[in-house]
Each structure stands twice: as C-alpha cells, then as structure tokens.
Chain A
Amino acid sequence: MLFVPRKNNTQVKYPLYQLGNPQLRIFRPTFNLTLVRPGKEQPPDTVQFRIPLEMTKFDVRNYLEKIYSVPVAAVRTRIQYCTNKKRNHLNQRVKRPDYKVAYVQLAQQQTFQFPDIFPEKDRKHEEGSVEEMQEKFMEDERQRQKPDPRRGGVTEWFGL
C-alpha cells in the first residue's frame, strides 16, 4: 500500500499497483491547490500553483481538467525547501513547511494574468454609524496636524 502521510497524523492508504490492476480513482480528494502570483515574470500562458508535496504532475493535470475544466498543455513541478534556521523565543529551531510549486501551461492558446484582488474602493459608511464618526474624527485630526497654508510650505522651525 502506498502510504501518504497527512498533517493530522492519519496516513492515507492507496492500494499497490501491479500490472493489470484497475486504475486508482480518488473519489473525494483532499488536495488543495493555491493559485499564487508569480515572483518572477512568467510567459502569458503559465499559471503558478502551490500544491501539496504528495501531488504529481499527472495529479495536477487531472485535477485541473476534471474539477476546474481547464485545458492543460504541460505541467512542471519543483519542491521549495523552506528554512529550518529560524528560532523561536525558546531558541528551538522552527521549520517553515516545504511546499511544491507547479507551473501549468494552458492549452488552446489561452492566457492568464493574475488579477488585482485588492483594488482601492471608496467605502461610504452609513449615517450615524461608529465607523462614520471615527472617520470624521481622523479627518479632523489630520486637518489640525497640517501646517499653516499661509506660510507657503516653509516649516515652523524658521522662526516667525
């Protein structure tokens, strides 16, 4: 049985494969894919994912094709080793968990650009709410802290 350790001390058992065995099918996968913004510039058809260490290229391809119906041309993976050097307040070494990165190239000449998920939005607080009062207070404070506009940008340090 192929053992795959899980974080909460339960091991997942997949049956051994020998020639002639049926194809292994996982009915309720526990693998989570995280789409990340690439650190380095990537070609327009490449999408970057963080995947669990136990996943393979074939797993990624099947996952995206079956669950997300994304046409995949190629998958390349690498394992990112994270530091065990950092120490906590008890001087014990703290390991940052390793993760696997998958670079997926889309088929059918599709492109993907990582969107801006945190755009600036003008929020209008409702009348009489706590946030409205806080916002007003902060605005007043900022106005009070501003230097005198009649001095024309000259600081208070220069007397008079």
Chain B
Amino acid sequence: MAAAVTSRLTAAVCRQFQRVVTVSSYTQPQCATQAFSKFHSCQRRQTYDSWWFRSSTNNRALHTSCVREGLEDFFDLPENWGEQTVKSGAPWTGKQLRVKSNEDLHKLWYVLLKEKNMLLTLEQEAKRQRLPMPSPERLKKVERSMKRLDTVVTEREDSLRLLQTGQERGRPGEWRRNVFGKTFWYRFKEHPIPWYLNSRYKRRRFFEPSHVAPYTRLSLEKYLRSKIRKEKREKRNQKMLAAVFPKKTALA
C-alpha cells in the first residue's frame, strides 16, 4: 500500500515537472539542473508500471554537456549497456489505463513510443554486433501497453460520440450489394470530386446484374439449409447424450 502511494507520489511529482519543463527544452541548452535530470528519469520510469522505477540504481547521473541531449533517448541508461538482462516491470493493463486522465494517457503514449524506439535501436544494434539482445520481452510489453492504451482511447471516443451525436461509427457507411449479389457494409471515402465524375468509381458496380439474382437465392437457401442442419445435429447430439447419461435424482 505504501509502495503504491509512493509510486503515485513520484508519478505526480513527475507530472508537475513535466508541466514546468515543456517540450521546447532544446532552446535552453543548459540542462544541468537536477529538475531536468529527474524529469528525464521520471519519464523513463513511467514506461513500466509501479515498482521498477523505485530502485535507487536507476537514477540518471547529472550530465553537463548537451551535445546530443535529445538523441540520448534512443539509448538505454548507460549503466545498462553491456548487461545480459535488464529488469523491467509489467505492462500497463486496461484497468489501470482507464483510471488515467486524457492528458496522462497522451503523455504515456509518447513515453511508450520513445521506449519502443529505444528498444528497436537496441535490437538493430544487437543484430549488427551479432550479440543477443538483453531482455527482448520488453518490446512485447510496450507493444501490448500501446495497444491497450489505444483501446481505452477509442472506447472513450466512441462513448463521447454516442452521447453527443448518437452515431455508432466514426466513419459513415451504408449497406450495399456488390456485383456478386453479396450484401456488405461499404465505408465511405473522401473524394475531391462527386461520384458521377469519378470514372473509376463508376466501374465499381454496386448493384447485382439480373443474371446473378438466381445465384443469390441459391446461396441463401444453402446458408439456411446449413443452419437448420447444424441445429438438428446439435439436438440429436443432446438426445443421444441424454440417452447415455439419464438424469437421476438424489433419491433414485
């Protein structure tokens, strides 16, 4: 409990520093402040959940030269260079992400993105040097976290859209019948010209020709027949099982 509290506190502190130190930090080349280094280390720690960033060994040392301050984010902490395994925490779950605000999710997305870039550079360099990559499971963790974040954000967008406009889908569409007689959901595309001037669109016919109509009926009959057959098979199966395993009461 105390651990969770401290993690929340450090996360809150990181967030405060993030508000103070904005992204345009390359305009101020003097980056030797402790606040900045803490911001960097906090940014790295927030990638993985909870306990990982609380170890004291993960404090980034103060650096005064800012020759490639931005590009250092493409590499791991210098202490981890050459290690066989690097410890990392669990990926973010959907439950944890749903609690976060939109600003936090936005910032977390970029943290995860930078972490993924770092892992990809590490992977490529390991392939180049013909050495095993330390802890490749980190890549999967980050990918899963990003996927879950995306799911949470789309959920929120969908619910907002439903409440505000009543539209179920973000992209408009309609049911159409293609040349083969099959009905499908056609999703609209943006065009700079109307459809009757679009020769390529007109070649794509959204109606079934008259000679295709009998086949639509036949395929429908086939589908219905297979559905009924499946239901009958299921019923027969249950009857057979009931005959083999009759229901007995406790008294019998």
Interfacial residues, chain A to chain B (CB-CB below 8 A)? 1, 13, 15-16, 18, 27-29, 32-37, 47, 50, 64-71, 106, 110-112, 115-121, 123
In whole angstroms, how far apart are the Cα atoms of A106 and B82 in the complex?
A: 28
Q: Could you tell me the dominant secondary structure of chain B's interface residues?
A: helix
For residue B96, CB closer than 8 A to chain A, the reply is no
Interface residues on B, range: 35 or more
| Shortest CB distance A89–B (Å) | 22
8 intermolecular pairs with C-beta atoms under 8 Å apart: A15-B190, A18-B192, A32-B117, A33-B120, A68-B70, A70-B70, A117-B125, A119-B82
In whole angstroms, how far apart are the Cα atoms of A47 and B75 in the complex?
A: 14
In whole angstroms, how far apart are the Cα atoms of A123 and B85 in the complex?
A: 12
Given A117-B81, A121-B83: A28 and B153 within 8 A (CB)?
A: yes
- Which residues of chain B are within 8 angstroms of A34 by Cβ–Cβ distance? 117, 120-121, 124
Q: Which of B109, B120, B129, B189 has a CB less than 8 Å from the CB of A118? A: B129
5 smallest beta-carbon distances between A and B, as pairs: A70-B70, A69-B26, A68-B70, A1-B190, A121-B82
Q: Which of B128-167 contact A (CB under 8 A)?
A: 128-129, 131, 150, 153
Given A13-B171, A117-B125, A118-B126: A28 and B117 within 8 A (CB)?
A: no
Whether B114 contacts A67 by the Cβ 8 Å rule is yes
For residue B186, CB closer than 8 A to chain A, the reply is no
In whole angstroms, how far apart are the Cα atoms of A47 and B67 in the complex?
A: 13
Given A15-B190, A67-B113, A115-B75: A35 and B121 within 8 A (CB)?
A: yes
Closest to A121 in B: B82
| Shortest CB distance B148–A (Å) | 13
In whole angstroms, how far apart are the Cα atoms of A123 and B126 in the complex?
A: 19
Whether A68 contacts B71 by the Cβ 8 Å rule is yes
Whether B26 contacts A70 by the Cβ 8 Å rule is yes
In whole angstroms, how far apart are the Cα atoms of A117 and B124 in the complex?
A: 11
Q: Which of B68, B69, B124 has a CB less than 8 Å from the CB of A36? A: B124
Whether B81 contacts A28 by the Cβ 8 Å rule is no
Whether B71 contacts A69 by the Cβ 8 Å rule is no
In whole angstroms, how far apart are the Cα atoms of A133 and B231 in the complex?
A: 64
For residue B11, CB closer than 8 A to chain A, the reply is no
Q: Which of A27, A36, A66, A71 has a CB less than 8 Å from the CB of B121? A: A36
Q: Which of A16, A68, A110, A121 has a CB less than 8 Å from the CB of B73? A: A68
Closest to A37 in B: B128
Choose among B84, B190, B191 the residue with the greatest number of A CB atoms under 10 Å from its CB: B190
In whole angstroms, how far apart are the Cα atoms of A120 and B74 in the complex?
A: 21
- Which residues of chain B are within 8 angstroms of A16 by Cβ–Cβ distance? 190-192
Whether B106 contacts A28 by the Cβ 8 Å rule is yes
Whether B117 contacts A33 by the Cβ 8 Å rule is yes
| Shortest CB distance A73–B (Å) | 13
Closest to B24 in A: A69
In whole angstroms, how far apart are the Cα atoms of A69 and B29 in the complex?
A: 11
- Which residues of chain B are within 8 angstroms of A27 by Cβ–Cβ distance? 106
Closest to A50 in B: B124
- Which residues of chain B are within 8 angstroms of A50 by Cβ–Cβ distance? 124
| Shortest CB distance A10–B (Å) | 11
- Which residues of chain A are within 8 angstroms of B150 by Cβ–Cβ distance? 28
Given A15-B190, A27-B106: A117 and B122 within 8 A (CB)?
A: yes
